[in-house]
Amino acid sequence: MSRYLAFRVLSVIPTLFGLSLVVFGVTYLIPGDPALIMAGTDTSPDAVARIRQSWGLNEPLYVRYAIWLLHVLQGNLGESYFSRQTVLQLVAGALPITAELATLALAVAVIIAIPTGTLAAVRAGSLFDLGAAAVAFVGLSIPGFWLVIMLIYLFGVQWQILPAGGFASLGDGVLANLKSMVLPATALGTFTSTQLMRYLRAGLLDVLHADYIRTARAKGLSGTTVLSRHALRNALIPFTTVLGVQLGYLLAGTVIIESVFALPGMGRLVLTAILNRDYQVATGIILLIGTAFVLINLLVDLLYPVLDPRIRLGQAANLR
Amino acid sequence: MLARIGGQNPHMDKPQVAARAQMRREFLMRATAGLVASVGLTLLDACAPATPATPTAAPPAQATGAAPAQSSTPPASTPAQQAPATTQPSAGGTLTISQSVDINTLHPWVGTLNVWKVIKENVYDQLSYQDPTTFEVKPKLAKSFEWTDGNTSLLITLAGGTSFHNGDPLTADDVKSTLDGIRDPQVGSWLRGFLAPIKEVQVVDPTHVKLKTETVDNGLIPALTYVDIAPRAAGTDLAKQNPIGSGPFKFIEWVPNDRIVLERNPSYWDQARQPKLDRIVFRPVTELQTRISQLLAGNVDMVYDFSLQEVPRLQADKRVQVSVVPPADQMFIAYLNMRKPPFDKLEMRQAIAWSLDRQAFVTNFLAGLGNPTGNSPFTDKHWAYEPKTKDRDEYDLDKVSQLVEKAGYPKGQGLNFTLLVPSGYPEFKQISTLIQAAFASVGYQPPIEEVEIGQWAARINQTRDFFVAVDYPPRGTADPALTYNAGQLFAPNAANAGGLTPETIPGYVDALHEGATITDQAKRKDAYSRAQLLWVDALPGPIFAHRSTAHALTPAIKGFTPHPAFQQDFAGVSR
């Protein structure tokens, strides 16, 4: 077990190194020049060249990679060519917004998915189930941007009960903050909820057909008890795993949602950085996100034996 | 059956279950029907044509329509340019302005984005300014300009009594350090070309500065409208520090992708330009529809510079007023790469010029808010405009066919070129598509290459890997000397995108020099007329049309006068 844990932890090092190579290489190989974006098209080539030189962009790519990696290992992800703020400063400003958005979107998704998925499974084949399937199908099919525009139009412009865009920080008041997040979180969470709902329905249907459910029913337990204590509890285990995966998709979805709703989060930050060829910011953020994924996966692997006593990592062969 | 175990109380008898289920179903169906009907009606309302604005005592500013009043010397403000002011506005308050992108630097001399020009104009003062309605260049920080020393020095007299936001006095030393900083090649300022005539900056005394030149340069005083005076103590690395100017508003903060906040400067020196607003918040919102929705919802007060195609819709909406700036500063042009075939041949360059249906473009894609008269950098109201350029290149497919054949590509055989457009600039693509269609009708359909803006700029300016690229570079309208001074189209320099050199058009450089350095207005007009005609003869880059700009604001905003070159002053704006 301890050998496995050590191996698993150590395997993160080459993974992160590979990640840094890919992130740096891909970012810097995008055609375009940040100096030209800064200088504008009306500036002389000399001026552009001077900006490139001052930003260290004249060095060969491998030299730039070595310098960057050295700085990263020292905890310095660099600074934006444009705003001149450090990447960590920019991330510190944007991450809470994206975290709030993703959390609220996940909450919206779960609040929609669990009751509807459960009811659809319990009443499989009923009008409700068919309706839920139809709604899920529509939810998966309609373009996200259309839903966003409709939400903005209805709630922001027509009824004027929620802001049509923009971000209100907690400093502006908790209510204002939540109001600015309702539409983006709903837009982001709705799409996810349809996937989660279908997944939960399918999982729950499997469980409801299991022998132990029949046994529980035979013991005289009420339908609610069977559902909540036996069926749903077991069906939620794989559901929770999918939820984790969906969180990743939610984070990816923030790029579009934050741009449309003008939220200054991570998605918009990385998009702006890529469009501006702000290499330091783009590589820094992508590396941070990638590292977070690697570490979360590691944590999940390490937690498996704790969560499920049947799992004994590294000893599978012996058990058999 | 097992599927239903959890859903119903097994102790409930069947009729009860059925009845409750029936009630729930009915409730859900009715509620759903009600919701669907409500949303449907609202959506139908949304899809219906917008209600036309009802005439009121104070009608919102209107666009001037298909034949807008033109620049460059309009005698007075047009209704389109000035917000109505029937009620006395109250001082104070916050103005929230939506802009299309975020700024990319805080450096006043390096940043080139229009969104930054709009902001910094209010933080810094400049020695001169261009009146947005008369287009005249007038003194601002300077009290006067005078050519002395046998027309080899421009003597600037400062108003005096001015100070920066940090309390330090603004003196001739600050003016010198600013001008020297911009002229310093290490700074990389786009303004360096504008200040090229300056050989030396001398401080005469705290309120007098002398700019040494070889001769009079008519572009110099207009160029000073772009020069933001920064404190000498701040040095030249101004990107890493909060801007300290002497303007009517102080810079407070920039939160990337969220906001830029300015606050009223209570001790602003110019009594005639005292700021009325307490704060201005600029919000970068990239999505056009979100920007418009925010305005209609009352979340922002102004949408600064938006797509002209949205103008008719917003003009019909009584919740907003639309301000349209007549065509002046922005022109649609095509960079043609003369370094390689096929555009090394004059006939092919002319074929591009004859291939665009300019009127159709302006009518269909600019909502009629542009000037289809091209071929000159100036609109037909500008004093330097040469009318003989008007009919030189028009839309004629037969002519395109003849020119293509004359160039050695009969029926387009052997032609090979592409049209390079950046993503996110629909008007460039629309022009390119019209050109593509025109050439398709003569036998060759050039592909349109749509690339991301960074790549587009690099291919035009660095690798020169392009054939045709449409652009609308804003040029200084304050004086033709500025228009022709720098940039990548008109000036035959190393930055020129198409490869124009002094030898490409014999007599062209001389005409430009004459126009820039003589003071007699009639002779200047002659010189610039020559330059324009020489241009259309050699046609290094066809000039297609001039474009209006549009802004939308809530009726509560008063005193807004849009600036055609984005040197926007908000001191007189109130709510």
**pLDDT value at position A1?**
65
pLDDT of B466:
96
Q: Count how many pairs of residues, chain A against chain B, have C-beta atoms within 8 Å.
A: 219
pLDDT at B442: 92
Q: Please give the pLDDT value at position A310.
A: 65
Q: Cβ–Cβ contacts within 10 Å for residue B323, how many?
A: 27
Q: How far, in Å, CA of B190 to CA of A39, rounded?
A: 7
Q: Which residues of chain A have pLDDT under 50?
A: 316-320
User: Which is higher by pLDDT, B80 or B425?
Assistant: B425
pTM (predicted TM-score):
0.81
Using a CB-CB cut-off of 8 Å, the residues of chain A touching B45 are 158
CB atoms within 10 A of CB B215: 13
Query: Using a CB-CB distance cutoff of 8 angstroms, which residues of chain A are in contact with residue B43?
Result: 150, 154
**CA separation for the pair B511, B534 (Å, rounded):** 9
Q: A-contacting residues of B 511-540, CB under 8 Å?
A: none
**Residue A222: what pLDDT?**
86
Structure token pair of residue B283: 């919000």
CA neighbor of B3 nearest in space, from A128, A200, A119, A219: A119
Residue carrying the six token digits 């709510």 = B575
Chain B residues close to A165, C-beta within 8 Å: 285, 287, 290-291, 293-294, 299
Whether residue B301 is predicted with pLDDT greater than 60 in this model: the reply is: yes
pLDDT one-digit tens code per residue, B22-64: 444 444 444 444 444 444 444 334 333 333 333 333 322 333 3
How many CA atoms are closer than 13 Å to the CA of B449, on its beta-carbon side?
A: 16
Rg (CA), chain B: 28
Rounded Cα–Cα distance for residues B159 and B208 (Å): 9
Whether the CB of A48 is below 8 Å from some CB of chain B: the reply is yes
Distances, alpha carbon A313 to alpha carbons A131, A203, A301, B384, in Å: 43, 25, 9, 83
- The proportion of chain B whose per-residue pLDDT surpasses 70, expressed as a percent, equals 84
Report the distance separating Cα B306 and Cα A173, nearest Å.
31
pLDDT of residue A221: 86
Find, among B192, B543, B158, the residue nearest to B335 by Cα.
B543
Q: In the prediction, which pLDDT does B1 show?
A: 31
Confidence check: pLDDT of B16 > 50: no
Task: Decide if pLDDT at B213 tops 80.
Answer: yes
Strands lying side by side in the sheet with B153-158: B142-148, B153-158, B208-212, B200-205
pLDDT band at residue B151, thresholds of 50, 70 and 90? very high
Q: Does B22 touch chain A (CB under 8 A)?
A: no
Predicted pLDDT of residue B555: 95
- Give me the mean pLDDT over the B475-499 stretch: 84
Question: Which of A186, A181, A159 is CA-nearest to residue A170?
Answer: A181
pLDDT for B423: 82
Which tens digits make up the pLDDT trace of A215-254? 988 988 888 888 888 888 888 877 877 887 787 778 778 8
Contact B7 A125 (CB under 8 A): no
Q: How many CB atoms lie within 10 A of CB A96?
A: 14
Single-letter code of the amino acid located at B195: L
Widest CA span of chain A, in angstroms? 85
Greater pLDDT, B475 or A185: A185
Strands (E), B294-340: 302-303, 321-336
Pairing outcome for strands B279-284 and B94-99: parallel
Residue pair B493/B485 in contact (Cβ under 8 Å)? The answer is no
Q: How confident is the model at residue B202 (pLDDT cuts 50, 70, 90)?
A: very high
- Residue A70 distance to chain B (closest CA, Å): 24
B5: confidence class by pLDDT, cuts 50, 70, 90: very low
Q: Which two tokens stand for residue A257?
A: 């949602």
Q: How confident is residue B261, by pLDDT bands cut at 50, 70 and 90?
A: very high
Q: What CA–CA distance (Å, rounded) separates A300 from A285?
A: 22
Q: Do A259 and B286 touch (CB under 8 A)?
A: yes
Q: What is the DSSP string of chain A?
A: -HHHHHHHHHTHHHHHHHHHHHHHHHHHHSS--HHHHHH-TTS-HHHHHHHHHHTTTTS-HHHHHHHHHHHHHTT---B-TTT--BHHHHHHHHHHHHHHHHHHHHHHHHHHHHHHHHHHHHTTTSHHHHHHHHHHHHHHHS-HHHHHHHHIIIIIIIS-SS-SS----GGG-HHHHHHHHHHHHHHHHHHHHHHHHHHHHHHHHHHHTSHHHHHHHHTT--HHHIIIIIIHHHHHHHHHHHHHHHHHHHHHHHHHHHHHTT--SHHHHHHHHHHTT-HHHHHHHHHHHHHHHHHHHHHHHHHHHHH-TT--TT-HHHH-
**H or E segment and range at residue B283:** strand B279-284
DSSP helix/strand/coil, B182: helix
In the structure encoding, which two tokens stand for residue A56, read together?
Answer: 């260290």
> Which residues, 6+ apart, have CB-to-CB distance to A142 below 8 Å?
none
Positive or negative: CA dihedral B493, B476, A32, A47: positive
- Do B105 and A83 count as a contact with CB atoms less than 8 A apart? yes
CA atoms within 13 A on the CB side of B232: 12
Question: What is the structure's pLDDT at B76?
Answer: 32
Which A-chain residues 167-186 have CB contacts (< 8 A) with chain B?
167
Q: Do B3 and A125 touch (CB under 8 A)?
A: yes
Q: How far is CA A119 from CA A197, A214, B517, in A?
A: 10, 19, 83
Residue B248 has pLDDT above 90, yes or no: yes
Torsion sign (Cα): B556, B561, B564, B568: negative
pLDDT given for residue B31 in this prediction: 42
Q: How confident is the model at residue B114 (pLDDT cuts 50, 70, 90)?
A: confident
Whether residue B554 lies within 8 A of chain A, CB to CB, comes out as: no
**What pLDDT digit, counting tens, does each position of B355-409 carry?**
999 999 999 999 999 888 788 999 888 899 999 998 788 899 999 999 999 999 9
Chain A CB contacts of B110 below 8 Å? 38-39
Share of residues in chain B with pLDDT > 90 (%): 64
d(CA B360, CA B66): 12
> Residue B260 forms beta bridges with which residues?
B254, B282
Establish how many alpha carbons lie within 13 A of residue B189's alpha carbon, considering only the half-sphere containing its beta carbon: 25
Residues of chain B in contact with residue A268, where contact means CB-CB under 8 angstroms, are: 257
CA angle B157, B166, B160 (to 5 degrees): 15
Q: For the residues B193-205, what does the mean pLDDT come to?
A: 94
Q: Which residues of A207-224 are buried (b: 16+ CB within 10 A; e: fewer)?
A: bbeeeebeebbeeebbbe
Mind telling me how many Å the CA of A262 is from chain B's nearest CA? 5
- Integer Cα distance of A13 and A33 in angstroms: 32
Q: Å from B509 to nearest chain A CA?
A: 18
Helices (H) and strands (E) in chain B, counts: 14, 17
What distance in Å separates the CA atoms of residue A117 and residue A201, rounded to the nearest whole number?
A: 5
Tell me which chain A residue has its CA closest to the CA of residue B109: A39
Q: How far is residue B493's CA from residue B512's CA, in Å, rounded to a whole number? A: 13
ipTM summary value: 0.80
Q: How far apart are CA B571 and CA B551, in angstroms?
A: 17
The verdict on a CB contact (< 8 Å) between B454 and A31 is yes
Q: Is the pLDDT of residue B344 over 70?
A: yes
Query: Distance (Å, rounded) from C-alpha B80 to C-alpha B65?
Result: 10
The pLDDT score that the predictor gives to residue B389 is 93
Determine the Cα–Cα distance for residues A60 and A278; give it in Å rounded to an integer: 17
Backbone angles phi, psi at A231, to 5 degrees: -70, -55
Put simply, the answer to whether A50 touches B188 (Cβ < 8 Å) is yes
Residue of B nearest to A93 (CA): B255
Residues 6+ apart with CB under 8 A from B88: none
A270 touches chain B (CB under 8 A): no
Residues of A in contact with B287 (CB under 8 A): 165, 259-260, 262
Helix (H) or strand (E) segment spanning residue B280: strand B279-284
Cβ-based contacts of B105 with chain A (< 8 Å): 38, 82-84
- A51: contact with B, CB 8 A cutoff: yes
Q: In this predicted model, what pLDDT tens digit does every residue of B516-562 receive, in sequence order?
A: 999 999 999 999 999 999 999 999 999 999 989 999 999 999 999 99
Backbone angles phi, psi at B138, to 5 degrees: -125, 155
Structure-token pair, residue B530 = 């020559």
Residue-level pLDDT at B53: 32
Comparing CB atoms, the residue among A48, A150, A208 nearest residue B2 is: A208
Contacts of A46 in chain B (CB under 8 A): 185, 494
Both tokens assigned to B255: 């939160």
Decide if pLDDT at B299 tops 90.
yes
